[in-house]
Amino acid sequence: MCELSIKPAVPDEFKESTRGRIPVAKTICLLLIPLVITFSGCSKDDQEDPAGSFEKISLGVPSYDYPLFFALVLLAREQGFFEEYGLDMTYQSYPHGVGSLKALQNGDVDLAIGAEFPFVKQDLSGSRMMIIASIAQVDVLELIARKDKGILEPADLKGKRVALILESQLEFCLDRFLLHYGITLKDIEKLHLLPPGIEQSILEGTADAMVFREPMTGRVKTALKNNWVSWPVQNRQNVFWIIAGREDYVSRHSEAIERFLQALDKAEQFYLNNDRRAIDLIIEKGNLDAAFFRGMLPKIEYRLSLENELLIAMEDEARWHIENRYTAAAEVPNYLDRIYFKGLDSVKPASVNIVH
């Protein structure tokens, strides 16, 4: 899944704190702030912690993809698990995961959520970030083509115009998909577009096909009626949504990161043991369409982990960047050096299957 957005950046008022969310304070906040937003809550200034025991962590969150791929974060927040483990969480919203990871690289936030592909891209450019855990694995990218353009099978894409975002996970997955049918990216005409341009191009017919994910793909199918054919393009290679931190921050805040992971682990257990209640909470607090979310669930696995598949994916994506000259780097990095194992090894060792 490519984590790109059609929404504008959310203003600074979107920042907030979860510490001190007692019923009275929450009621006052709700009375004063009639607008309901995904990250609603009282400011950290409303409730001071006299003991000073709360660890402050700022988290960069891609607003377009929240909470569809970040349900564990939402559940930890709404169930008070972050506060339970002594964390004062503030959230900064960005249009997409690329933006949140760049903010992390620039030092604007302590931790950030993004997909592993932009993490690899930024790492190849020299950033010093470390992955502390994966929180979701998804298989949602889809290629849609117009039948009236003579496309009925993947092989028919040869010579056709495909709308996508260049140098993104969309292009990477399309490349791997086409190879299965004896086609390369050189055999198609790539149209570099951003949302909503991708959607408009296939509906207007200036593109013969497109690559993206729901909800855009659903809207396109509805608009084209019976004039479409589609295929999943990830070839069963999951996209990993990861939480990363700068190398210097991670080395200095190991205890806070451990508590952060404990809260997410508790959120995962809540999801597994109370699936109906958890799903209802995600829908309600995330302002999601219930039918859309339930339809996406089979394609998403919420799991706190560090898996060998993640390591393999990053190495494959790094090679792809190098082969296509999308980076000045000449060698695939050792991604074992880009993963912080200590936290999850301590909190949930059974979820780490990368040999290190």
pLDDT tens by residue, 165-190: 999 999 999 999 999 999 999 999 99
Residue 52's pLDDT band, with cuts at 50, 70 and 90, is: low
- How far the first Cα of the chain sits from its last, in Å, is 27
φ and ψ at residue 108, rounded to 5 degrees: -80, -25
Q: Is a pLDDT exceeding 60 seen at residue 33?
A: no
Rounded distance, CA 284 to CA 219, Å?
22
pLDDT tens by residue, 248-292: 999 999 999 999 999 999 999 999 999 999 999 999 999 999 999
More confident residue, 124 or 2: 124
- The residues pairing with 146 across neighbouring beta strands, listed in sequence order, are 228
How far are the Cα atoms of 4, 46, 146, 161, 232 from residue 194, in angstroms, in the given order? 8, 40, 19, 15, 20
DSSP 338: G
pLDDT tens by residue, 143-165: 999 999 999 999 999 999 999 99
Q: Name the helix (H) or strand (E) containing 315.
A: helix 308-323
Residue 65's pLDDT band, with cuts at 50, 70 and 90, is: confident
Average pLDDT over residues 39-60: 61
Token representation of residue 298: 């089979």
pLDDT tens by residue, 319-339: 999 999 999 999 999 999 999
pLDDT tens by residue, 197-232: 999 999 999 999 999 999 999 999 999 999 999 999
Domains of the chain: 12-139+238-351 (3.40.190.10), 142-232 (3.40.190.10)
pTM, rounded to two decimals: 0.84
Query: In a 3-state reduction of DSSP, which class is residue 332?
Result: coil
